[in-house]
């Protein structure tokens, strides 16, 4: 089967623009991705940052699903510790009821924010929220997979508003524990290589220890990867200066909108050690279509990935669209 290629959109906010601009760009890019042949389009959840606009994936999923026809649309992901499993199940049941079998619900354990913002998201602030993600995930699956025990105290809540339609449930991760849970529960697994480039062994362990579920008979791995493509290697690295600056500062605790290319290039020239440190912590596939194809082929072989999900952040929205267009063409025959 040909390699599936998908999009993970973090709704980047360019310097001088607004979050509303970024969200409209996300809808535009999703329409473009559908026309260009991408398999699915996931939107991320982040809070309290001037760089990334999507704080509510379900709202953006609805907007994108309304503006597209057949591409799969979902969350990459919903940060489950912030929410009750019932609320998430009801929300995605509604999305599935409205948009049919196109909806994906990928959940993660990370807060998608700094500790203060995570605390501000809590309804009860008398103490820190419990670390009970496995219990939350099991309850969510009981709703989504229609396996809530008849004697359970929440049994009468198992009839969800979207009717018989249910989203496809995924587990996100960037650490070994997420792969263990995905294997134990029989869930498809999306690994964030753009956060942790050492995920091949985790993906292999997931496959080797996979327990088939009533919903998913076999393991399935998405590798989510950072890619920027332009007509030449030099042009692509120029475009990458914006996100390299933004993420270098992010790792140092400073949050900024995505800067213009010239500003990014000046920063890289002034702080070579910091940028080098970023390169040691993150994998970047940057270059011409031929360079990108070779880099993605190498990564797919490492992960034995069934699908790749492309993360691209540039200052200019037109450049991001063009990058995704070139990537789709380059990977079409893999």
| Residue 246 resides in a domain | no
Buried b / exposed e across 206-229, counting CB within 10 Å, b at 16+? bbeebeebebbeebbbbbbbbbbb
| Residue 268 resides in a domain | no
**Domain encompassing residue 70:** 4-232+289-331
| Residue 244 resides in a domain | no
The number of folded domains in the chain is 1
Tell which residue, 283, 163, 308, has the closest CA to residue 221.
308
| Residue 51 resides in a domain | yes
| Residue 74 resides in a domain | yes
pLDDT tens track, the chain, 334 positions: 789 999 999 999 999 999 999 999 999 999 999 999 999 999 999 999 999 999 999 999 999 999 999 999 999 989 999 899 999 999 999 999 999 999 999 999 987 677 778 778 777 777 777 788 999 999 999 999 988 887 788 878 888 999 889 999 999 999 999 999 999 999 999 999 999 999 999 999 999 999 999 999 999 999 999 999 999 999 999 999 999 999 999 988 899 999 999 999 999 999 988 777 777 778 999 999 999 999 999 999 999 999 999 999 999 999 999 999 999 999 997 7
| Residue 191 resides in a domain | yes
Which CATH number covers residue 70?
A: 3.20.20.30
| Residue 88 resides in a domain | yes
| Residue 269 resides in a domain | no
Task: Record the pTM.
Answer: 0.94
**Six token digits for residue 67:** 């503006």
Q: Dump the DSSP string for 206-220.
A: HHHT----SS-SS--
Strand 307-311 relative to strand 72-79, pairing: unpaired
CB 246 within 8 A of CB 51: yes
Q: Report how far residue 284's alpha carbon sits from residue 277's, in angstroms, rounded to the nearest whole number.
A: 13
């Amino acid at each position: 089967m040909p390699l599936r290629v998908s999009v993970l959109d973090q709704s980047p906010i360019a310097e001088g623009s607004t979050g509303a601009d970024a969200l409209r760009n996300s809808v535009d890019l999703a329409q473009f991705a559908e026309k260009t042949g991408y398999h699915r389009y996931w939107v991320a959840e982040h809070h309290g940052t001037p760089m990334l606009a999507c704080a509510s994936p379900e709202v953006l999923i609805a907007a994108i699903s309304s503006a597209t026809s057949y591409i799969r649309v979902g969350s990459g992901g919903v940060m489950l510790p912030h929410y009750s499993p019932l609320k998430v199940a009801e929300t995605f049941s509604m999305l599935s009821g409205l948009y049919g079998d196109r909806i994906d619900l990928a959940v993660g354990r990370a807060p998608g924010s700094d500790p203060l913002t995570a605390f501000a998201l809590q309804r009860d602030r008398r103490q820190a929220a419990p670390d009970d993600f496995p219990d939350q995930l099991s309850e969510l699956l009981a709703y989504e997979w229609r396996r809530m025990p008849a004697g359970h105290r929440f049994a009468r809540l198992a009839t969800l508003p979207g009717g018989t339609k249910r989203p496809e449930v995924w587990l996100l991760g960037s650490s070994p524990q997420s792969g263990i849970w995905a294997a134990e529960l029989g869930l498809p697994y999306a690994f964030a290589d753009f956060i942790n480039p050492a995920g091949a062994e985790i993906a292999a362990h997931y496959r080797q220890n996979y327990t088939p579920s009533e919903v998913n008979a076999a393991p399935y791995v998405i590798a989510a990867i950072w890619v920027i493509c332009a007509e030449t290697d030099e042009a692509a690295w120029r475009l990458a200066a914006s996100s390299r600056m933004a993420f270098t500062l992010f790792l140092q605790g400073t949050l900024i909108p995505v800067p213009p290319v010239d500003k990014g290039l000046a920063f890289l020239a002034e702080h070579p050690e910091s940028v080098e440190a970023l390169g040691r912590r993150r994998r970047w596939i940057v270059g011409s279509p031929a360079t990108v194809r070779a880099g993605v082929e190498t990564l797919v072989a490492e992960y034995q990935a069934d699908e790749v999900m492309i993360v691209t952040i540039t200052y200019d929205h037109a450049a991001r669209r063009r990058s995704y267009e070139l990537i789709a063409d380059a990977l079409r025959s893999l």
